[in-house]
Amino acid sequence: MSFVPHTTEDIRSMLQVIGAKSIDELFQSIPPELRLKKLLNLPAPMSELEVSNHLKQLADKNISVGKPVRPRHPGGYTSFLGAGCYNHYIPAVVNHLAGRSEFYTSYTPYQAEASQGNLTAFFEYQTMICELTGMEVANASVYDGATGLAEAVLMSFAITGKIGGSLSGNELLPSILGCNSPAPISIRAGSNSPSKKVIVSTTIHPEYRQVLKTYLNDLGTEIIEVNYTKNGQTDLTALRKAINSETACVAIQNPNFFGVIEECDEISKLVHDVQALLIAVVNPISLGILKTPGEYGADIVVGEGQPLGNEMYFGGPHLGIFASRMAYVRKMPGKLVGQTVDKDGKRGFVLTLSTREQHIRREKATSNICSNEALLALRAGIYLSAIGKKGIKTVANICLQNAHYAAEKISEIKGYQLIFNTPFFHEFVVRSPIKPSILNQKLLKEGIIGGLDLEPFYPELKNTLLFCATEVNNKPEIDRLTRIIHASKQ
């Protein structure tokens, strides 16, 4: 029975203790004629997601005749909308454990001796984020993916020293984040000082870029946006022209906002040739099959942790993943939980670093926006523990396969075509002969949430939609989507 969690060594040890030679010997008291001589005629095993869907289908049979069967979840609808907030299956164990009162109602772990449970959970979360991203250190989370990017850019100023005036990064941050400064200071670059230059790919989530602009609005910072090519990837030629010795950092997203896989190795080389830092924005699920940021040389990694066991929550609250190289740990925002031993040599956990202004001198603070998203980080840790290394690879592969199947089926419909002929993960851009708002209205009437209209974010991409498929979008749902699109007319 593969669901029994005992290893071969466990079984051997237990048999030895009770004096039995084999498991079969434990059943000698059952007469041979009563023992099962062949396998039971049982249906094939199902995953938790398949069992859940099967039970929903059985429950739908209870609906009275003549009443329409409700469309599937979330919220009674089938969703093909992603764009930064994703519908993934959440194992039952996540809600069960995260809902326990000792986690659900606990407060910030200021006193380590009274908070070992939470601190242990954060330490394990940090460890798994490091393993997932290939980085050396991770904090206990930040506010969300968008503010994580902004925090990473501010951190790059402090690390590289490529900032205006004579202030160091840590001296500048209290002014940036609204802390009272001992005396008025200038945050504009002086004529003899290097400019703060940040290069950002336009393939990064548009709302992430807007949050970054808000953070840097009054700092005299030069934000250079590098456009994308006809393949949907960051334009490397434009990047080569934009980057120079004054560049503090370059930020990319992989997979990018269009779902396209970027040329990360080449970008990393260009960035490090001028001693700048590479900031990578990632989808954590994609790291189950893609090269990790650590492998292509990223210096700071941020991302939205919502896909890791967290609901979509109407767009928030969400979870900011934040990791970096160990050399930069003193400049990292938020909390970092460390492992230690007590006076008796027993393993324990403490807040090793906590770098916001309520804990340390305000001029040394790296951020005061958020300590961490404790409950959501806990959920992410439980999710990663539950599915394991093989599980996240499986989830990523199913997302990949479902998205490519959906893209293939939609592109076969007359008038619809894929915009980018480039490898993609679980999102893809389609040009539609029908105005996206009209198509999405038709889909919504059929219980389907359609793709994102890209024109408001990218005016050049008229009549295009960004579709998403995850492991919950099975083949019948995708086939139904394509049938409705095929039947839709202007």
Q: φ, ψ for residue 313 (rounded to 5)? A: 50, 40
CA proximity to 336, closest of 307, 290, 367, 309: 367
H-helix or E-strand spanning residue 27: none
Q: How far apart are CA 166 and CA 113, in angstroms?
A: 42
Distance, CA of 253 to CA of 281 (rounded, Å): 4
- CB 380, CB 125: distance < 8 Å: yes
- For residue 333, give the nearest of 348, 310, 317, 355 by alpha carbon: 355
Look at residue 125 in the predicted model and tell me its pLDDT. 97
* For the chain, percent of residues with pLDDT exceeding 70: 87
Q: Which residue has 């996240």 as its token pair? A: 392
Q: How confident is the model at residue 248 (pLDDT cuts 50, 70, 90)?
A: very high
Exposed e or buried b per residue across 180-203, where buried means at least 16 C-beta atoms within 10 angstroms of its C-beta:
eeeeeeebebeeeebbbbbbbbbb
Cα–Cα distance measured from residue 339 to residue 348, given in angstroms and rounded to the nearest whole number:
6
Helices (H), 111-144: 116-133
Residue 131 vs residue 8, higher pLDDT: 131
C-alpha 199, offset from chain centre: 22
Cα–Cα dist 305/420, whole Å: 26
Contacts of 212 (CB under 8 A, 6+ apart): 146, 149, 150, 153, 198, 200, 223, 251
Q: pTM for the complete prediction?
A: 0.83
pLDDT confidence band for 155 (50 / 70 / 90): very high
208-217, 235-244, 410-419, 481-490: least confidently modelled range: 481-490
Secondary-structure breakdown of the chain: helix, strand, coil percentages, each rounded to the nearest 5? 40, 15, 45
Q: What is the pLDDT of residue 43?
A: 85
Q: Which two tokens stand for residue 192?
A: 């003899």
CA 283, CA 205: separation in Å to the nearest integer? 11
Q: What DSSP state is assigned to residue 190?
A: P
Quick one: fold of 96-383? Aspartate Aminotransferase; domain 2 (3.40.640)
Could you read off the pLDDT of 402-413 as tens digits, one per residue? 999 999 999 999
Task: Please report, rounded to a whole number, the percentage of residues in the chain having pLDDT higher than 90.
Answer: 67
What is the average pLDDT value for the chain, to the nearest integer? 87
Q: Is the pLDDT of residue 75 over 80?
A: no
Among the listed residues 273, 147, 252, 145, the one whose alpha carbon sits nearest the alpha carbon of residue 198: 252
Long-range (24+ apart) CB contacts under 8 A made by 456-461 are 457/206, 458/202, 458/206, 461/419, 461/429
* Cα–Cα dist 390/393, whole Å: 5
Three-state secondary-structure class, residue 490? coil
Nearest to 23 by CA among 34, 35, 33: 35
pLDDT reported for residue 191:
33
Gap between the Cα atoms of 318 and 142, Å rounded: 9
CB atoms within 10 A of CB 44: 5
Mean pLDDT value of segment 461-484: 96
Q: Give the angle 24-27-32 at the CA atoms, nearest 5°.
A: 95
Domain boundaries, the chain: 78-91+388-487, 96-383
426: pLDDT strictly greater than 60: yes
If we measure between CA atoms, which residue out of 311, 376, 370 comes closest to residue 148?
Answer: 370
297, pLDDT greater than 50: yes
CA within 13 Å, CB half, 277: 26
Residue 168 has pLDDT above 60, yes or no: no
If pLDDT is split at 50, 70 and 90, which confidence band does 358 have? low
Closest-CA residue to 429 (of 408, 396, 454, 397): 454
Quote the pLDDT of residue 58. 82
The verdict on whether omega for the bond into residue 74 sits within 30 degrees of 0, i.e. cis, is yes
Range 229-251 average pLDDT: 96
Q: Which CATH class is domain 78-91+388-487?
A: alpha beta
